Chain A
């Protein structure tokens, strides 16, 4: 039996509420991950607060349900009289139901400073209990290797907010580019509108500001990288409540970008997908890694424990042989998530059909590079049955030259060190993705 109890004071409650509000902009469910000293709340970003738990525990819960408990009780400007919030989870294999019990304890223990009448009321106290259903879940973390960062900027959230304020409400994407010591943020929308409805086209807004307005500004010139504007807004809004400076780290378009900030024991990291034109010639090794960042690769990795990580196969430069090499030794069991049929359709074909044009790309990103997407389109012309956005899960363990997503069942019982080791062993055959293609839809990249 697993049990988790944690207790939040009024301040922590406000922080949790703010974090959940922020995460609700990313996803409907929030994953809660508890270790002995750390609780990680995860939508597509991660978030931590102090707690106690007997062992590592994972679950996911509807954010709306959790937020509704806080409604009216969490207000940073008001004394909402919630003294303490206690959360409890007891997972029993004999019980079918998974319930998170939340108790809001109001008005206890404020005896000393209050008048007699109020004291009477306070002695009564109110405890509000809620029971929420959760689902056990395997939590997947987006992997982001800070030591490989080649572009980085840091800015005050209020400054970023001022930039955002210029954008129209309907804008969907945000392009970031540096030119001649200036940074340009441009909002745009990829949605194709009917030619006649010109007036419904969104306004394009670009804001150019001096690098001096950033606290740190190390960006490759003339490289355009685009992210989802709503994500960015949510991140900045949350950072603004905490007045924490936001740092963006990234390498190339179509590779993940991490937006991170820290405040008062909370570390927020949002790994978001990006889009943009990749110049095919350039390989990431040609770009200098930001030196000051590589100082702490070890701590960065330790600080961002990733029970599951994604690793796409490196595409070799040599011509592929049609014969598959034998599957490498597996440290962990592999199971297909989506059934084997798609995988069987995709893997061999992609191996043979894929031209070597994109061979120079380093496929260690979370996302399918745009060039790659076009390749998929061409194939679909030949075969109508294949929906273009379905990626198969390669359970075969066969070596392919395609960045196929694979799933590996996480083994959480192992200590972190041995997991890491086994991950290294698995490098040859790839590790599972952090996002399903279906979840990525709607953000423009795969539409």
Chain B
């Protein structure tokens, strides 16, 4: 088993890992000959299946991968990888490889970083050096002139190697054909509005709880962050935020709404694109039977032309953190059931490759 590569686009790689780690820490990373797959299946909340062509993040001609099973399956704390990748910023060379230390498998990231020092101002103010005649030999080794500095950084991330049989049972979820598919507006805008709604709803529920005297404990829970599985059954669903209603139709409209007992707000986007399906993959007859085509036939003002999902506000906000990759996102609505997001990295649009697929369950009303 062997894996070694130079990193190509560490910014993208870092943003990718950052987006993934917002959903869960444990990541299944699968190295294949052409693609690298990242999968995160949290205990609750959205799961993500990402498929990244090797040359998106790695230097393809340095990519070495050898395995009996034609793939290497790694379990890694993706937050650690993300943190380690920060060391690559401003680096001239970074290498990632599979290695072992004390029988423990590691993913080792080696970074050769060169940066330009601005000169040591602090020392320069010391006696005698104010006149910038730096070539005079001193007792100190520090070079006060601005110069190139070379630093070598090694980050060793502990991992688990998964046997092929351990990942055999893991499959991407199967979903019914979508009722509506639509390209989402800019994620930064969508995120800021979603976050605003979340905040309004949680302050609203907070004030109501205080009125009804539910006490501070419950309030804290409603605000507490995700992954607080430690407090199950503490009244409110502990790891969840307020529920957002997201709906869309086949006439380019998307609606984000929130409803509590005391407030109802909705934002509506119009003139969005409902992307046509690729005729190469689907026959004319199949196409006509798709639910989305039926929905397209429904009048623009007809309520029944909308597909709706109820999603957790906090979870949605974490999903939207993928916006840092400035991707194109196709949202597929399966009415009252699920929302599937196909997130395409810039440059891979319509190429079937760099794609992150998010599976978001709809909550019952």
Chain A contacts to B: CB under 8 angstroms:
154-157, 159, 162-163, 165-166, 168-169, 198-217, 243-245, 292
Question: Of B80, B123, B149, B160, which one neighbours A210 at CB under 8 angstroms?
Answer: B149
Q: Pick from B76, B104, B152, B160 the residue with the most CB of A within 10 Å.
A: B152
Q: Which of B83, B122, B158 contacts A199 (CB 8 A)?
A: B158
A198–B159 touching, CB < 8 Å: yes
Q: Are B141 and A207 in contact (CB under 8 A)?
A: no
CA gap between A213 and B150 in the complex, in Å: 9
CB-based contact B141/A217 at 8 Å: yes
B117 interfacial contact with A, CB 8 Å: yes
Question: Bound complex: CA of A205 vs CA of B159, how far in Å?
Answer: 15
Asked if A199 and B152 make an inter-chain contact with CB atoms under 8 angstroms apart, the answer reads no
Closest to B141 in A: A217
User: Shortest Cβ distance from A350 into chain B, in angstroms?
Assistant: 34
Q: Does B25 contact A (CB under 8 A)?
A: yes
Report the minimal beta-carbon distance from A213 to chain B, rounded to whole angstroms: 6
Query: Chain B 72-90 against A: per-residue CB contact (8 Å), 1 yes, 0 no?
Result: 0001110010011011000
9 contacts between A and B (CB under 8 A): A156-B120, A159-B117, A165-B86, A198-B159, A205-B87, A205-B154, A213-B117, A213-B142, A214-B142
Provide the residues of chain B in CB contact with A211, threshold 8 Å: 141
- Tell me the minimal C-beta distance from A109 to chain B in angstroms: 33
How would residues 112 to 156 of chain B score, 1 for a CB under 8 Å from any chain A CB and 0 otherwise? Answer: 000001001111000000000000000111110001011111111
**Nearest chain B residue, comparing its CB with the CB of A195:** B104
Docked-complex contact B141 and A212, CB < 8 angstroms: yes
> Does B157 make an interface contact (CB < 8 A)?
yes
Q: Which of B87, B122, B142, B149 contacts A244 (CB 8 A)?
A: B122
Contact A154 B142 (CB under 8 A): yes
Residues on B lying within 8 angstroms of A by beta carbon are 25-26, 75-77, 80, 83-84, 86-87, 104, 117, 120-123, 139-143, 147, 149-160
Looking at the complex, which one of B26, B121, B140, B155 makes contact with A203 (CB distance below 8 Å)? B155
Q: Is the CB of B80 within 8 A of A203?
A: yes
Q: How far is the CB of B346 from chain A (nearest CB, A)?
A: 28
A216 and B141 contacting across the interface, CB-CB below 8 Å: yes
Closest Cβ neighbor of A158 among chain B residues: B122
Closest 7 CB pairs of A and B: A215-B142, A201-B158, A204-B156, A208-B152, A199-B77, A206-B154, A217-B141
Which single residue of chain A is at the shortest CB-CB distance from B75? Answer: A199
Q: Assess whether B122 is in contact with A168, with CB atoms less than 8 Å apart.
A: no
CA distance in complex: A217, B138 (Å)? 12
Choose among A156, A169, A198 the residue that contacts B122 (Cβ–Cβ < 8 A): A156
Interface pair B141/A243, CB less than 8 Å apart: no
Contact status B26-A199, CB under 8 Å:
yes
Distance (Å) between the CB of B140 and the closest chain A CB?
5
- In the complex, which residues of chain A have a beta carbon less than 8 angstroms from the beta carbon of B140? 154, 215-216
Beyond the given pairs A199-B158, A212-B147, 4 more chain A to chain B contacts, judged by CB atoms under 8 angstroms and listed by A's residue number, are A203-B83, A205-B87, A216-B141, A245-B122
Q: Are B151 and A216 in contact (CB under 8 A)?
A: no
| B149 lies within 8 A of A209 (CB) | yes
- Pick the most buried of B25, B87, B153: most chain A CB atoms within 10 A of its CB: B153
Q: Shortest Cβ distance from B80 into chain A, in angstroms?
A: 5
CB distance from A406 to the nearest CB of B (A): 40
Report the bound CA distance from A200 to B158 in whole Å. 8
User: Are the CB atoms of B153 and A168 closer together than 8 Å?
Assistant: no
Q: How far is the CB of A267 from chain B (nearest CB, A)?
A: 16
- Inter-chain CA distance A213–B140, complex, in Å, is 11
Bound complex: CA of A203 vs CA of B159, how far in Å?
A: 10
A245 CA / B76 CA spacing, docked (Å): 38
Q: A154-B140, A198-B160, A199-B76 are in contact. Are A205 and B153 (CB under 8 A)?
A: yes
